[in-house]
Amino acid sequence: MITLKSPREIEAMKKSGAIIAGMHHEMKKIIKPGISTWEIEELGRSYIESHGARAAQIGFEGFKYATTVSVNDEVAHGFPRKDLYLKNGDLVKVDTVVELDGFYSDSAWSYAVGEVSPEVKKLMEVTKHALYLGIDQAQVGKRIGDIGAAIQAYIDEEGYGNVRDYIGHGIQPTMHEEPAVPHYGVAGHGLRLKPGMTITIEPMINMGSYEVNTSTEDGWTVSTADGSWSCQYEHTIAITNDGPKILTSQDPKADAKYL
């Protein structure tokens, strides 16, 4: 079932989103060569809980961690690991869901570890731009397919793989709600967007093929099928009569038109 949120509810989601944004700002300070991915988890959980919120991923379908930390060819859902140390040139993706006073927000961000290659820099730039192309389509009266079509056309033009097995979703009153929000699709098709809908847009873009595999060992970690590196950016968005509003913004100046 899709619920339409009131302005009050959207403001409450924005408060949980601000905690995620603050956590990601702290991540930028510590993510560097030599740290373990477990240190990312410790910071994430500590930051969320110290701000009176709950890391909503903990306990979700048996997941044990506040964050997912996925490195290089890992697309998503990677476990934080005490014995995995980041190296110069790595690409790490950190994802979390925060619940504050019953209101949820979800955001993932990608980080360059030290100095990354020009190829990785471009992958990051393309993925972030794809996210904002999708956000620009999240307008009242448009359809879900418009979001995916805009992302897909751009990724095809750039020659990357656009993951299909994992997609965006509705959010609130739980962390995963209807509607499904694919990052591919046909313009003018799919559910019509209405004011008060809240969704995530979270393209996962691979340097190579779009195909992925899920680990048979842990049942969670998603990696590219061909070993190519992957990038992801994600925001929680509210559909409003004044255009799409980003509820997890980290940069009020850059995102001014979406706030």
Assess whether pLDDT exceeds 90 at residue 1: no
Longest CA pairwise span in the chain (Å): 49
Mean pLDDT on 246-254: 97
Burial level of 173, CB count in 10 A (0-12/13-18/19+)? middle
What value does the mean pLDDT of the chain take? Answer: 98
pLDDT of residue 185: 96
pLDDT of residue 141: 97
Binding site feature residues for a divalent metal cation = 95, 106, 169, 202, 234
Each residue of 65-114: pLDDT tens digit? Answer: 999 999 999 999 999 999 999 999 999 999 999 999 999 999 999 999 99
Cα gap 133→147, rounded to integer Å: 8
For residue 105, give the 3-state DSSP assignment: strand
Each residue of 195-207: pLDDT tens digit? Answer: 999 999 999 999 9
Helix 37-50 to helix 7-30 angle (10° resolution) is 140
pLDDT of residue 144: 98
Contact by Cβ (8 Å): 128, 145: no
Binding site feature residues = 77, 95, 106, 169, 176, 202, 234
Mean pLDDT on 117-122: 98
Q: In this structure, what are the phi and psi dihedrals at residue 152, rounded to the nearest 5 degrees?
A: -60, -45
Instruction: Determine how many CB atoms are found less than 10 A away from the CB of residue 121.
Output: 13
In the chain, what percentage of residues exceed pLDDT 70?
100
Mean pLDDT on 240-256: 98
Mean pLDDT on 208-228: 97
Mean pLDDT on 165-185: 97
Assess whether pLDDT exceeds 90 at residue 49: yes
Amino acid at 239: I
Binding site feature residues for substrate = 77, 176
Each residue of 72-85: pLDDT tens digit? Answer: 999 999 999 999 99
H or E, element range at 44: helix 37-50
Mean pLDDT on 30-37: 98
Which structural domains are found in the chain, ordered by start? 7-249 (3.90.230.10)
Assess whether pLDDT exceeds 90 at residue 227: yes
> To which residue do tokens 């019509």 refer?
192
